[in-house]
Amino acid sequence: MKKQTETSTLFTELNPTAYGYARHADDEFQYLNLHADKPVLAAREILEGWFKHYPAAHRLDLVRRFRSKKQKQHNGAFWELYLHELFHKMGYDVQIHPTLEGIHTHPDFLLTRDGAAFAVVEARLAGLQTDQMTSALRLQNELHDALDTVHSPNFFLTVEKIKTAPTRPTFKDLIERIEKWLGTLNPDLPTEVFLNGRDASTRFKWEHEGWYVSLKVIPKSHSYRGCQGGRSVGIIHSDFQWVDTKGQLRQALAEKANKYGKLNLPFLIAINYLGICCNREDWLDALYGEQTADICLDKNGVPRQRFFRNNDGFWIYKDAPRHTSNSAILAVYGLNTWSMGAHSVEVYQHYAADYAIDLSGDLPCWSFSSSKNEMVKRDGRSSAEILGIPKEWPGEWNQGDSHHNHIHASDDSIKQ
């Protein structure tokens, strides 16, 4: 493979040769850099095209973060590259880390058009895991990768529960134990025998120095028994988690909203939420207050509901506007290399901004209508359309080879 170490390209392997699914513990850049599956090559081509438009004086910082093994660094660099190309395609000149009069720090972008300043933009990720959670997840992913190496010609493994510990063991003994257990099972028994788990012999448990694994199996159909390649794990059960999406969004906004004081320009905060789930209601809860309801009885004793929003939003508090220097939010959920054909940026405009901004016609925009007392949407082009990304992005994986499988389903999850 020909390796590129300079910053004329985003990727270091110019002729990648690896194929197949991403391992759970692989970082995003590593997978993109080493693999030659058709969708990966398509993604590399479009990202390299964006990188060519990125100002040469600022490429070194971007490429270092984009190539980082730390997913937060990589995600941040991708988001900035995406935004730069989006504004570029919308017809703006984009200055990176501009110097603004009276401001000692440098925002991410200054948008200009026809030589006149248009808006200041700050890019932000939200919903990120803590470093402790990231470390634990990496250990868990390494265990998942080890389980995928189990020789299991007759069964798919079902991972019911995993508990990790700070010290990583070798998994050789675990793999040997699982393979020995699988050899005691009869794949021709009815599937229900394995699913109900009443027979203790159809379950596997392992404990070692704080680690814990619980497994069940599902028999493969006769046509797939003995096939080589692919993952051994068929199902992974996830634990339930409580999430505070609106709280995470407000925190991300608060960290950026007053960073530059009073600007004499519209100020946009562009947030890519990478947590478990986020929808339009979460954004409205964060900006305008959480929706709640009063329940009362009318004169006939019939229960009635009155819906309203609490006066505790990022943009409104006790009926008064706040953070009015923030003109609008550019919002998207779960945007990454694989979802950017389906996940589109939307704009939420502050109802009482110091400097109003209107991006409708370019992007879908939501604003508060006082006459209708509701949020009103003005249509615009999707960010995928602006960037020329097809709806079926990124295309089909190579056909005909059993080992050419999709990357993690969690990376492609879409909640609209």
| 3-class DSSP assignment, residue 270 | strand
Do the beta carbons of residue 407 and residue 333 sit within 8 Å?
Answer: no
pTM: 0.79
Tell me what pLDDT residue 192 has: 84
With contact defined as beta carbons under 8 Å apart, do 85 and 383 qualify?
A: no
Contacts of 257 (CB under 8 A, 6+ apart): 269, 314, 323, 325, 326
Q: Which two tokens stand for residue 245?
A: 């999406």
Side chain identity, residue 191: T
Rg value, the chain, Cα: 25
- Strand pairing of 291-297 and 267-273? unpaired
Q: Count of residues for the chain?
A: 416
Per-residue pLDDT of the chain (416 residues; tens, 9 = 90+): 455 556 789 999 999 999 887 887 788 999 999 999 999 999 999 999 999 999 999 999 999 999 999 889 999 999 999 999 999 999 999 999 998 887 878 899 999 999 899 999 999 999 987 777 777 778 888 888 889 889 999 999 999 888 888 888 889 999 999 999 999 999 998 888 888 767 888 899 999 988 999 999 999 988 888 877 778 888 777 665 667 899 999 999 999 888 887 888 999 999 999 998 899 999 999 999 887 656 666 777 677 666 557 788 999 988 899 999 999 999 999 999 999 999 999 999 999 999 999 887 899 999 988 766 788 999 999 999 999 998 889 877 654 343 334 333 333 332 32
253 C-beta neighbours (distance < 10 Å), count: 21
Q: What is the dihedral of CA 20, 25, 331, 95, to 10 degrees?
A: -90
Q: Name the nearest CA neighbour of 235 among 178, 162, 128, 336.
A: 162
Chain centroid, CA 358 distance in Å:
27
